[in-house]
């Protein structure tokens, strides 16, 4: 069975500092990975997916099959990045989510 691990429940970063949210997965097939974000009082929404290889709101994530990781990165944190972030793996049309990381940007 597939599994997604986000080792950090809480992460605090100063504004302007780099951000890295960790995600590791286990899956026997070819993974389809996503990052979802939930801002305060808003619904859960897609941030980015590995297959599109794009940067959204300054965030990027690279799939590393050797390390089975899909870490989310941003070079310079902004206050509006404060949110709950979930890594998710898609298999058989179902998403398996990690436990989430709450990111707080310190002004």
Binding flag, residue 40, other proteins (CB under 8 A): no
Q: Of the ranges 21-29, 37-45, 62-70, 74-82, which one interacts with other proteins (CB under 8 A)?
A: 37-45
d(C-alpha 89, C-alpha 46), whole Å:
12
Residue 20 vs residues 1, 62, 79: alpha-carbon distances, Å: 26, 12, 15
Binding flag, residue 44, other proteins (CB under 8 A): yes
Please give the size of the binding site for other proteins, defined by CB under 8 A. 21
Site for other proteins in 48-107 (CB under 8 A): 49, 51, 86, 90, 92-100
* Secondary structure, 3-state, 51-86: HHCCCECCEEECCECCCCECCEEECCCCHHHCEEEE
Q: Of the ranges 11-19, 21-29, 41-49, 59-67, which one interacts with other proteins (CB under 8 A)?
A: 41-49
Closest alpha carbon to 4 in 95, 92, 103: 95
- Per-residue mark of binding to other proteins, 7-36 (x: CB under 8 A): --x----------------------x-x--
Minimal distance, residue 45 CB to other proteins, in Å: 7
Residues in the chain, total? 107
């Amino acid at each position: 069975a597939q599994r997604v691990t986000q080792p950090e429940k809480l992460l605090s970063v100063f504004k302007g500092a780099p951000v890295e949210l960790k995600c590791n997965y286990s899956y026997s097939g070819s993974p389809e990975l996503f990052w979802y974000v939930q801002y305060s009082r808003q619904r859960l929404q897609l941030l980015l997916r590995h297959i599109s290889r794009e940067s959204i709101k300054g965030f990027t994530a690279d799939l590393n099959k050797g390390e089975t990781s899909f870490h989310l990165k941003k070079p310079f944190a902004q206050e509006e990045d404060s949110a709950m972030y979930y890594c998710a793996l898609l298999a058989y049309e179902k998403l398996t989510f990690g436990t989430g990381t709450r990111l707080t940007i310190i002004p």
